[in-house]
Amino acid sequence: MMTMVDLNGLKAKALEEMESEGTLRVVVGMATCGQSAGARRVMETLKKDVAELGLDNVNVAVTGCVGMCTYEPILEVLETGKKKVTYIRMDPEKTARVVKEHLQGGKPVLDYTVGHDHAGNLKNLEDLQFYAKQERIVLRNCGTIDPENIHEYIARDGYAALRKALLEMTPETVIDEMKKSGLRGRGGAGFPTGLKWGFAAPNKADQKYIICNADEGDPGAFMDRSVLEGDPHAILEAMAIGGYAIGASKGYIYVRAEYPVAVERLKIAIGQAQQMGLLGRKIFGTDFSFDIEIRLGAGAFVCGEETALIASIEGKRGMSRNKPPFPAHKGLWGKPTVINNVETLANVAQIILKGADWFRSFGTEKSPGTKVFALGGKINNTGLVEVPMGITLREVIYDIGSGCPHGKAFKAVQTGGPSGGCITAADLDTPIDFDNLVAIGSMMGSGGMIVMDEDNCMVDIARFFLDFTVDESCGKCTPCREGTKRMLEILDRIVAGEGTMQDLENLEDLAENIRLTSLCALGQTAPNPVMSTMKHFRDEYLAHVQDKKCPAGVCKALLGYVITADCKGCTKCKRVCPVEAITGEVKQLHVIDQALCIRCGACFNVCSFNAIARN
């Protein structure tokens, strides 16, 4: 059984292993994104070469996502008393050179680092603009510790919050602390976590449950995956604290089956925690017992909705039901249940350990703390960023993300996934928090932030999201099942150039009805992408309907390519055309036969003289 002394001793021992004098700690980011960028081969080379050269002072470890996707695979070398060295875009050859010159020879390989500052000092990831405005609470261990090694988590104060809660606090004071912290659910709706726990705690039942919602379905959001892959123990610890607070002895983690690495690391983490007595019976010698089981999703977006998620764990079709009764009263198998999102839980241990006031020192009055965003789409620095609430969208997109690539003009940023909306340049100075984003017609959602540039057609994007909701509707209530389908049909007509002005009116009518009458949040928010694009980009809708044109040049049915007088007759376009629709002799103006053209855009992409116009 684990005691206080044990935890302190373990921490000291783990710290010594990680940071002892003369030891080089080499970590490779091995989250899903790192692995697919080639981190596994980097790791193999690293291990092999270190062993071959007999470098006993080198300690190689796997770690989670550092957050800077564009630079993957990332390898970092840490040495006590020295500045961390970051190597980016690694491959086996580069790794071999780093092992030889840096790990053995002691000289960092400058070619593969992120560069120097003006004084010639080597820069590492933390010196980059990308990290300057970030504040790491949720991601504090991601990219730092080995997620498969509980000792490294303990070295970073792991399980100290659970110990504090169990030995120094009552369930009531835990809930009070959570209420005071003002932490709001990071899954999308922003409901205060302390209140949720407070609802479930007084309900008497022979069994209560706490569920971690890791069914991260929003396309474009991957912070939950990153936390599970980079810091799984933080979630286990938080669930145990939550279990203590509400009186639950059993927890479930409902995780997407699309995340095999996360599932594997969770299994390892649960096994380690059980073995050390941090999960199981009589934790820290108290009367509190708690265990966790993993349940896999099977590819249904609606299971992110809490009542649908409960149905899914119960082994039924994932369909939502009416609330009340709320899960806090009647949840899993009719018992009081609390459901928290991964990112929400990742804050809990830190709040208990450092206090609500510390947490409130980040973010805004109504939305304290930080938020993790998955910055993606047409942006230079794709990645995972954790910023204090209240930062402006402009800072995130330009200062951290460094704007749109290839000098293209920013058009909109989409937040909140299929439930959210588009935000235009006019609102970029809005401070980000739960309430402000709703006020400008979008929502926080789970934190996907997809940037779009001038080449994205907003009608097409609206149709993309609606197609998603149509496919993912569980089919229980009519407005969502039938209504979204009718909206999609209208949008299909519009992008095909067959839309009418009446269609636009019908879209708005349908949207309003679906919003007001759907059973769960999936349906209620499904029209949002259409409503927000219609509000901000009405001219694009009108161009599709009235002029039969797609200004961004995306909707194929509305496109046409013509060759302008700038044509030098290089024949490049003629050779690339798959249907031989282009005719013309060398050094003569070429012509596209509109009847044959399939509008694939191949000629447009290859022309070196900008002589092909799209209309």
Partner 1 sequence: MPEDPEVNQNRFGTGVGNNTQRRLGNVNDQSKCACSCGCITAEDPRFAELKSYIDSLNQEQGITMPVLQEAQRSFGYLPLEVQKFISENTGVPLAEIYGVATFYSQFAIEPKGRHHIGVCMGTACYVKGSQKVLDKLVEELKVKVGCTTSDGKFTLEATRCLGCCGLAPCIMIDDDVFGKLDDVSRIPDILGKYE
Q: Which is nearer to partner 1, 474 or 494 (CB)?
A: 474
Integer angstrom CA distances of residue 534 from 423, 443, 505, 528:
12, 16, 11, 10
If the CB atoms of residues 295 and 614 are measured against partner 1, the closer one turns out to be 295
3-state secondary structure 29-50: ECCHHHHHCCHHHHHHHHHHHH
Contact between 151 and partner 1 by CB under 8 A: the answer reads no
**Residue closer to partner 1, measured from CB, 47 or 295:** 295
- What CA–CA distances, in Å, run from 117 to 67, 100, 439? 22, 25, 41
Structure tokens at 170: 């009552």
Output 12 or 579, the one with its CB closest to partner 1.
Answer: 579
Q: How far is the CB of 550 from partner 1 (least distance, A)?
A: 14
| Residue 312 is a binding residue for partner 1 (CB under 8 A) | yes
Determine the Cα–Cα distance for residues 137 and 238; give it in Å rounded to an integer. Answer: 14
HEC sequence for 523-556: HHHCCHHHHHHHHHCHHHHHHHHCCCCCCCCCCH
Which listed residue (281, 282, 317, 538) binds partner 1 by CB under 8 A? 317
Question: 366 to each of 342, 378, 394, 435, how far by Cα in Å?
Answer: 21, 31, 21, 8
User: Residues 27, 103, 125, 450: which binds partner 1 (CB under 8 A)?
Assistant: 450
Told to check if 507 binds partner 1 by CB under 8 A, we report no
Dihedral of CA 42/47/49/50: which sign? Answer: positive
How do beta strands 410-415 and 421-424 pair? Answer: antiparallel
| Site map (CB under 8 A) of partner 1, residues 221-240, x = contact | xx--x---------------
Contact pick of 4, 53, 298, 557 for partner 1 (by CB under 8 A): 298
What is the token pair recorded at 31? 């989250």
- Interface segment toward partner 1; rule CB under 8 A; list 316-324, 340-348, 540-548, 586-594: 316-324
x-marked contacts with partner 1 along 350-369 as a string, rule CB under 8 A? --------------------
Report, in Å, the least distance between residue 319 CB and partner 1.
8
Please give the single-letter amino acid code of residue 46: L
Give the sign of the dihedral formed by CA 549, CA 555, CA 561, CA 567.
positive
- Residue 537 near partner 1 by CB under 8 A: no
Cite the DSSP H helix spans in 211-305: 223-230, 232-246, 260-275
Q: Determine, following the binding rule CB under 8 A, whether residue 316 of this chain makes contact with partner 1.
A: yes
392: left (phi over 0), alpha (psi -120 to 50) or beta: beta
CA distances from 173 to 166, 201, 261, 355, 544 (A): 11, 12, 36, 11, 58
Task: Scan residues 161-220 and list those touching partner 1 (CB under 8 A).
Answer: 216-220
**With CB under 8 A as the contact rule, which of the stretches 122-130, 306-314, 517-525, 591-599 interacts with partner 1?**
306-314
The binder of partner 1 chosen from 374, 393, 444, 545 (CB under 8 A) = 374
Among 16, 44, 126, 314, binds partner 1 (CB under 8 A): 314
The interface region with partner 1, picked from 10-18, 129-137, 154-162, 292-300 by CB under 8 A, is 292-300
Site string for partner 1, 409-438 (x = CB under 8 A): -----x--x---------------------
Report which DSSP code applies to 363.
B
Would you count residue 472 as binding partner 1 (CB under 8 A)?
yes
| Contacts of partner 1 in 553-582 (CB under 8 A) | none
Least Cα distance to 134 among 143, 145, 147 occurs for 143
Residue 86 within binding range of partner 1, rule CB under 8 A:
no
Closer by beta carbon to partner 1, 296 or else 353: 296
Longest CA pairwise span in the chain (Å): 88
Cα–Cα distance, 513 to 500 (Å, whole number): 20
Minimum CB distance to partner 1, residue 35 (Å): 7
Which one, 106 or 315, has the nearer CB to partner 1? Answer: 315
The count of other CB atoms within 10 Å of the CB of residue 248 is: 25
Segment near partner 1 (CB under 8 A), from 42-50, 79-87, 172-180, 459-467? 459-467
Report the C-alpha gap between 234 and 304 in whole angstroms. 21
Nearest approach in angstroms of CB 470 to partner 1 is 6
* Min dist. Cβ of residue 450 to partner 1 (A): 5
Does the footprint of partner 1 cover residue 272 (CB under 8 A)? no
Instruction: Confirm or reject binding of residue 72 to partner 1 (CB under 8 A).
Output: yes
Q: What is the token pair recorded at 414?
A: 């989409």
Size of the site for partner 1 (CB under 8 A): 61
Which residues lie near partner 1 (CB under 8 A)?
Answer: 32-33, 35-37, 69-70, 72, 216-222, 225, 257-260, 295-301, 312-318, 333, 374, 376-378, 382-383, 414, 417, 448, 450, 452, 456, 461, 463-465, 467, 470-475, 481, 485, 492
